Amino acid sequence: MSTPPLLLLLPPSEGKAPGGRATKWTPDAGSFGTLAADRRAVVAALGAAGGGGEALLGVGGRHLERARAANLELDGDAGTLPAWRRYTGVVHDHLGVATLSRAGRERAVGSVVVLSGLLGAVALGDPVPDYRLKMGARLAPLGLLTAWWRPRLTPVLVARAAGHVVVDLLPIEHAAAVDHAALAAGGAIVVRARLVERDGRSGGHDAKAAKGRLARHLLTSRAHPERALRTWVDDRYVVETESIAGPVPIARRAASTRSSTR
pLDDT value, residue 22: 76
Residue 171 maps to a domain: yes
Got the DSSP string for 83-140? HHHHB-SHHHHHH-GGGS-HHHHHHHHHHEEEEETTTEEEETTSEEE-----TT-EET
62: Cα separation from own chain's centroid:
26
b (16+ CB within 10 A) / e for 98-111: eebeeeebebbbeb
Give dist(CA 175, CA 180) in Å, integer.
8
The pLDDT tens digits for 46-80 are: 999 999 999 999 999 999 999 999 999 999 889 99
Q: Are 128 and 86 in contact (CB under 8 A)?
A: yes
Residue 201 maps to a domain: yes
* pLDDT above 90 as % of the chain: 83
pLDDT value, residue 200: 79
Summarize the confidence of residues 31-48 as an average pLDDT.
Answer: 98
Write the CA distances from 120 to 43, 70, 216, integer angstroms. 12, 18, 23
Give dist(CA 76, CA 195) in Å, integer.
40
Residue 133 maps to a domain: yes
Residue 1 maps to a domain: no
pLDDT value, residue 1: 58
| Predicted TM-score of the model (pTM) | 0.91
The pLDDT tens digits for 159-183 are: 999 999 999 999 999 999 999 999 9
Give dist(CA 251, CA 8) in Å, integer.
20
Q: What is the CA radius of gyration of the chain?
A: 18
Is 70 exceeded by the pLDDT of residue 42? yes
To the nearest 10 degrees (0 to 180), the angle between helices 102-111 and 207-220 is: 110
Give dist(CA 231, CA 54) in Å, integer.
43
Residue 262 maps to a domain: no
Nearest to 13 by CA among 79, 81, 76, 72: 81
3-state secondary structure (DSSP) of residue 200: coil
Residue 23 maps to a domain: yes
What residues contact 140, with CB distance under 8 A and at least 6 apart?
Answer: 45, 48, 49
Give dist(CA 71, CA 132) in Å, integer.
7
| Total tally of structural domains belonging to the chain | 1
Residue 134 maps to a domain: yes
Residue 253 maps to a domain: yes
pLDDT value, residue 257: 40
Q: Which of 16-20, 66-70, 110-114, 242-246 has the lowest mean pLDDT?
A: 242-246
What residues contact 14, with CB distance under 8 A and at least 6 apart?
Answer: 58, 89, 132, 134
pLDDT value, residue 246: 56
> Residue 209: which domain range?
6-257
Handedness of CA 99, 102, 107, 110 (dihedral sign): positive
